[in-house]
Amino acid sequence: MITYLVTGGAGFIGSNFIHYMFEKYGDDIRIINVDALTYAGNPENLKSVAGRENYSFIKADIRNSDEINKIFAENDIDRVVHFAAESHVDRSIKNPGIFVETNVLGTCVMLNAARAAWENEDGSYKEGKKFLHVSTDEVYGSLSDPKDYFYETTPYSPHSPYSASKASSDMLVKSYVDTYHFPANITNCSNNYGPYQFPEKLIPLMINNALTGKKMPVYGDGKNVRDWLYVADHCKGIDMVINKGRMGETYNIGGHNEKQNIDIVNIIIDTLLEILPEDDERRKNVSKELITYVEDRKGHDRRYAIAPDKIKSELGWEPDTKFEDGIKKTIKWYLENEEWFKNVTSGDYLKYYEKMYKV
Ligand code: NAD
Ligand code: DAU
């Protein structure tokens, strides 16, 4: 039985990945979820798997080498899927230090612990061990020519403290591959959307604001482009890369679904009006009049777009969910999980929101 150590499994993509893996492999795998439960980590995301015998949760901080080494000493880990990170660009602009600590130093702790547990005396590695570092397309910077795409060979050019910290962590992983022949892969994925995403990010924030009649804050001219991928398709790619990817390689993941932010906001409003029954109280709040252009994000990247040619040709990956279906599924999920939404948008979230959006 393969044992996965998933870091950051209580966050958005990590929790979707755990659900994806149990749906696919059932009792044939074991998952240990290691998460510090920062503001972005939510045990509620994993309620339905918490009672499984082949699942366990350990509250630990990836910056703490004692805690992480202990987990490796007590468990025979076969695969590490490393999601844990500070992930929000706006927060990195306000407070870059924690991004360096978690994303760079935390990744270094993870690499050292895995290497110490897996390396043989002669420098080879125990059979079947693999570390997958989950990264982002933001490391490649911003595209200006509409015909350009991010390939695995595109030079790194990060602009925000978040993307700079992810780029540094990618470089560290690559250095361990080159220096120690460490068995790792990196995936660089585009913007994800789907269930369990924290409403500091564009799509859930806009859904929440539309439903509660709050202004929908569009940065700058609203024409920045992001390349949206349904989260389960990202999880599918990660599963393929960790189990079949060539050792040491990087794979870009994205579904060729570029959209301007303002189009996303309009789609959310139109979809809510289409789905919500006439007599649903929340429907009366939903209106295009809520759209408000606000000051642009500092250093705002104009366009991201992934070329997923390598993962398609080498591993046969392709996305299963079209954006039109994925966004409906996502909006329905948020409508049906009002309690989840209420829980994550109270307390600290309100303080963050007021400070960030100056309301
Ligand atoms: P998220 O912010 O929703 O979740 C991050 C998780 O990491 C949380 O559960 C948090 O508690 C945990 N964490 C943070 N600091 C920790 C620490 N010091 N020790 C242990 N756990 C800690 O993030 P996400 O959107 O799910 O992103 C997951 C990963 O995927 C990140 O590495 C991110 O860079 C990458 N990524 C995200 C996207 C996207 O669109 N969201 C796209 C490509 C890549
Ligand atoms: O590209 C992958 C990246 O996607 C991941 O690495 C990051 O972890 C993830 O947060 C995401 O980064 P973005 O900055 O692209 O996502 P965000 O949802 O914050 O913003 C998407 C776009 O929407 C961006 O152009 C900024 C804009 N925006 C965002 C918010 C929160 C607004 O116009 N208004 C908003 O209130």
Task: Please spell the DSSP secondary structure of 195-229, one letter per residue.
Answer: TT--TTSHHHHHHHHHHHT--EEEETTS--EEEEE
The pTM of the whole model exceeds 0.85: yes
Instruction: List residues near ligand 1 (CB under 6 A).
Output: 7-8, 10-14, 35-38, 40-41, 61-63, 83-87, 102, 106, 134, 136, 166, 189, 191-192, 198
Mutate to test the pocket of ligand 2, among 150, 163, 226, 233 (most ligand atoms within 8 A of CB): 226
- pLDDT above 70 covers a percentage of the chain that reads 100
Mutate to test the pocket of ligand 2, among 166, 215, 219 (most ligand atoms within 8 A of CB): 219
Contact 13, 35 (CB under 8 A): no
Would you state the structure tokens that stand for residue 311, as one six-digit string? 């993962």
Catalytic residues: 137-138, 162
Q: Whose CA is nearest to atom 8 of ligand 2?
A: 87
Q: What does the alpha-carbon distance between residue 275 and residue 335 come to, in Å, rounded to a whole number?
A: 9
**Total H helices, total E strands in the chain:** 13, 12
Question: Please, what are the domains in the chain?
Answer: 2-190+230-256+299-322 (3.40.50.720)
Q: 347 pLDDT band (50/70/90 cuts)?
A: confident
Contact 21, 52 (CB under 8 A): no
Residues 90-149 pLDDT 10s: 999 999 999 999 999 999 999 999 999 999 999 999 999 999 999 999 999 999 999 999
Residues 31-49 pLDDT 10s: 999 999 999 999 999 999 9
- Look up residue 47 and give its DSSP letter: T
